[in-house]
Chain A
Amino acid sequence: MTLDKLLSFDWGMMAPEFSIVITAILLSLIDLFMPNKVSRKPLALLGLAGIIVAIVFAVLQVGDPVGSILFDTYRFDSFALAFKLLFLVATAMIFLLALDFEGESKWAYRGEFYYLLMTALLGAMMMASSADLITLFVGLELLSISSYILAGIRKRNFHSNEAAFKYVVNGGIATAITLFGMSYIYGLTGQTNLYAISEMLVDPRVQENSFLVIMAFVMMFVGLSFKISAAPFHMWAPDVYQGSPTPVTTFLSVVSKMAGFTLILRLFFVIFLGTQGWHNQILLDAQPFIAFVAGATMVIGNVVALRQRNIKRMFAYSSIAHAGYVLVPFVSLSLIVFKTTWFYLLAYLLMNIGAFAVIQFVTSREKSEDFTAFSGLNKRAPLTAFMMAIFIISLAGLPFTAGFIGKFGIFMSSLGTGHYILASVMIATTVVSYVYYFNVMVQIYFRKGAGNRIRPTAGLAVVMVICTIGTLLFGIYPSLALDFFQSGFDINDLFTPSE
């Protein structure tokens, strides 16, 4: 590749990614030359500023036509942008959580923490934009490797070490499975570009081997189910979530998971729908398989959550269950899937980050991660207790919250396409989930707790308030978000190969 060619790409489209890269580099350089004893707080603020700049660039791109760079390996379409916005907003809030997490003295390597969060975010954004198996894999690994280190960043903490170890081992296996699946695809089609693969799939020579294609499909799906912590690759999540520092747990359960969904949507929809439309035989064959995975994930997540006493573990299972819900629209196979998934992820982002903010607040003040740490929270911090109640109601999917609207949309999408069994599993497991969600609620409102009034720090308070407002606003007036998605993002351009 000549320099001229390299310069001829429209790099301006990458402005949000560049903001993140530049901020990450700046952060690592500053951290390198900063004296050890100096507070790393300004680094977090710098990181936050970088993300906000990226959000501004991303918002300015809304409505732009489809573009691509680097020989169609990296695409800028509405699909990528819509999900990137979610990643950026979520990571910005996680920075605020990180600011508050534990005292400076207790926790060295804080500088690393900030720029690793940046690179993980960059990985997620690459996953949203990739149109080629190779860039896609690079993005996935950038996110994964950054996350491994983040999980173990409290080097001297036993749980943190355990979390990082389990995460690496399981992540490695997942990567191997995914790559193995991809290798089949490459072997069959000789292409790495998703659109080219899609065209090759109708080739008779490939069609004869459709069994291999569907095996590749299953393997890639199982490998990627690691990222979204869906069955059968969910077992790492409780241990890792419990051991990681709470802001990292939040990142894993929100951003990393959203990135996984984005990747799954793009990979499978472009490859299998691109040239063949909705009646693709392979996708139709795979439908019961995905339905089974979704159902199993909902059941495992919600049922096992019942017995958890550690609040972070409980929320790990809850997050497994939510992955199951989000897989439901994927079964229904229609264009609605993007809208319902996006909205659900938005709602999930708000309620889950909000809940983790409260969890971080309570567990750090009480020095306990047992769910009884929440007892009597209503007396000690009434406003925080109220906000936690809203997040719980939303996670449980009760009306007037974003979680309800999201779940309702998913439910309707499965009913509308005749997946009655899946819809009933969803309802049944939702009812089960009330038990553990409302256990926390009972602790907050009906159990007596000891201790004085406690007050969240400014950063936490901002996150909680934003999440509460968002949860209620999109619950009462969901059109605000849905219309934004509908008018700003033409999802059809996911399928238009760029020139």
Chain B
Amino acid sequence: MNVKITKEDNKYSVVVEGRVDTTNAEQFQQHLAPLMQAQNAEINIDCSALDYTSSQGLRSFLVLQKSTMSHGSNLTLFNMQPQVKEVFDITGFSNIIRIV
């Protein structure tokens, strides 16, 4: 699991790579911490290299989503691999988080 965040003005470009599972979900959430502080920001997460996410990983995305909403930011996930998209679909997360 690897998270790269680059910031330009108030635009965050995030790349998530590898697997988010029960063993590293907490770490993953810590990586996302700076995004949760951002005010009125544009946050785009590139999920093309995200191979797998467990329910713990989903929870991290959910936490991020809730905090961005409360800070007036916009969260978008894009380029999601089909099997990951399926997990988001099954759990209904696709209804809550903007996935393009």
**A is bound by B:** no
